[in-house]
Amino acid sequence: MNRPTGYEPLYTLKPVAPDVWLADGGWIRFYGLPFPTRMTVVRLTDGGLWVHSPIADRQGLKDAVVGLGPVRHLVAPNWIHYAWIPEWQARFPAAITWGCPGVQARARSRGVALALDHVLGDDPPPDWEGQIDQRLAESGLHREVVFFHRRSRTLILTDLIENFEPAKMPCWMRPLLWLGRIRDPDGRMPLDMAISFQRRKAHLRALVRCMIDWQPERVILAHGRWYDRDGTAELRRAFRDVL
């Protein structure tokens, strides 16, 4: 798609909080539906960079990232966010690549040979322990690792909440946003994903309570409008049928 995403400028680092940036990318299609993209960069206390869900490299994005520090970690945070990891690995061969359970199998099924150094779980590795907390969401179908940057009180999600702004989406997709429960200002967990957690309600409830206990001030999402304030309240709203 060539139409604007509404999150311009694209492929540009945008400050979120001290040592946290995001970059908005162009459109992708998932099962024929258009999605705007977004990645998050965190600078760890050793000066190294942690890159969450890397997007396509356009307009010198990688060079801008290098200007923040050395890229040490590349993160594929859920089973379907991996497309540009190989491209970033080629540019930063010394970086450690971390992936959600199931992401390699998904990539393989789409003809992508995704190399991982480590698989992510509930516990943060020593590389960012004490700086970024994490938990694994596992429905049996959907797998995603959520992250919380302690110092900035920033929660980083991928697809557990989607919050598409209707005015920025194609007209034909707007009814689907309402049906899928992913329309701003009441973006929630996509309906198909919520159904996949029906057999793991206790697991999802514990995960949501953990995220609320972290008391995030802001919540970054991969798709749609993210929450730059009142993050804990937004979690309670988005997961009201879980609590």
For 181, the token pair is 């429960």
H-assigned helices in 134-219:
174-180, 191-196, 201-213
Integer Rg of the chain from CA = 17
C-beta separation of 236 from 212 below 8 A: yes
Domain that holds residue 79: 14-238
The residue with greater pLDDT, 147 or 30, is 147
pLDDT tens-digit map of 6-58: 999 999 999 999 999 999 999 998 877 899 999 999 999 999 999 999 999 99
Domain membership of residue 5 (yes or no) is no
Domain membership of residue 110 (yes or no) is yes
Q: What is the CATH number of the domain that holds 197?
A: 3.60.15.10
Domain membership of residue 9 (yes or no) is no
Domain membership of residue 215 (yes or no) is yes
SS3 23: strand
SS3 31: coil
Domain membership of residue 132 (yes or no) is yes
Domain membership of residue 2 (yes or no) is no
C-beta separation of 188 from 54 below 8 A: no
pLDDT for the residue 55 = 98
Q: Which of 146, 165, 164 is nearest to 216 (CA)?
A: 146
pLDDT at 162 over 80: yes
The identity of residue 55, as a single letter, is I
pLDDT tens-digit map of 216-234: 999 999 999 999 999 999 9
The identity of residue 184, as a single letter, is D
Quote the pTM value.
0.97
Structurally, the chain folds into a number of domains equal to 1
Q: Which residues pair with 178 in a beta bridge?
A: none
